A and B are shown apart, each in its own frame.
Chain A
Amino acid sequence: DAMVIQNPRYQVTQFGKPVTLSCSQTLNHNVMYWYQQKSSQAPKLLFHYYDKDFNNEADTPDNFQSRRPNTSFCFLDIRSPGLGDAAMYLCATSGGRPSGAAPNEQFFGPGTRLTVL
């Protein structure tokens, strides 16, 4: 089945130690998103790629970076994780459409739960 896969499902890192979260998709969607979901809070968009075009949200900290080497894969890099970065990180994809057309559904992965010690 076509899907969005996130690895690992659980990640533990140390304060200040760089960490990379991975997302892959078999849907061949041209848009990939990263959301941060802290405990008991709404998921918050960090950034997205439309094909190779990177779109950062204005309030996303510089500590968070992303790479998309090809259509299928997208990575979230946290350069120096702090205790406040502990959260669930959700990857999502969508087909993208021209302006004015109904939006395609966003398909979510199961998330990676990040713990910072």
Chain B
Amino acid sequence: AQTVTQSQPEMSVQEAETVTLSCTYDTSESDYYLFWYKQPPSRQMILVIRQEAYKQQNATENRFSVNFQKAAKSFSLKISDSQLGDAAMYFCAYRLPGGGADGLTFGKGTHLIIQP
């Protein structure tokens, strides 16, 4: 079975600084997808960024980028120029590429605090 591990229960960063959230995963598959989701307090989970395992290029979305190391099974999220609105729980998630209906396997999450 696939597992996703987020070793940082909580991270704190000053506004406008850069922070990196860690994620490792375990799988025997060679093709899969990885995601970072953001869950603000009392609000729904939204997708931040996704990475396809067969792509070597790291995904980027504005201030958000990933460092995908397939051999090390590592998938970290870098947030540049942190803003107060970035404060949330961040979940790393894994999904197989089958059928289009497979559910996500999540890590336990990292609580990100932005210090003004």
Contacts and interface: CB of A to CB of B under 8 A. Distances in A.
Nearest to B46: A108
A48 B103 contact: yes
B25 interface: no
Contacts of A96: 99-101
Interface in A24-50: 31, 33, 35, 40-45, 48, 50
Main secondary structure, interface of A, reads loop
For this complex, into which size category does the number of interface residues on chain A fall? 20 to 34
For this complex, into which size category does the number of interface residues on chain B fall? 20 to 34
A79 interface: no
Given A43-B106, A103-B95, A94 B101 contact: yes
B88 interface: no
A45 B103 contact: yes
B64 interface: no
Contact of A42 (B47, B50, B91): B91
Contact of A109 (B33, B44, B97): B44
Interface string A88-100: 0010101111111
A2 interface: no
A95 B101 CA distance: 8
Contacts of A31: 100-101
Interface in A70-115: 90, 92, 94-106, 108-111
Contacts of B77: none
A3 to B, nearest CB: 9
Interface of B: 4, 33, 37, 42-47, 50, 52, 91, 95, 97-109
Given A35-B103, A99-B98, A100-B97, 13 more contacts: A4-B44, A42-B109, A43-B104, A43-B106, A55-B101, A95-B100, A96-B101, A99-B99, A103-B100, A106-B47, A108-B37, A108-B45, A111-B44
Interface of A: 4, 31, 33, 35, 40-45, 48, 50, 55, 57, 90, 92, 94-106, 108-111
3 A-B pairs closest in CB distance: A45-B103, A97-B100, A42-B106
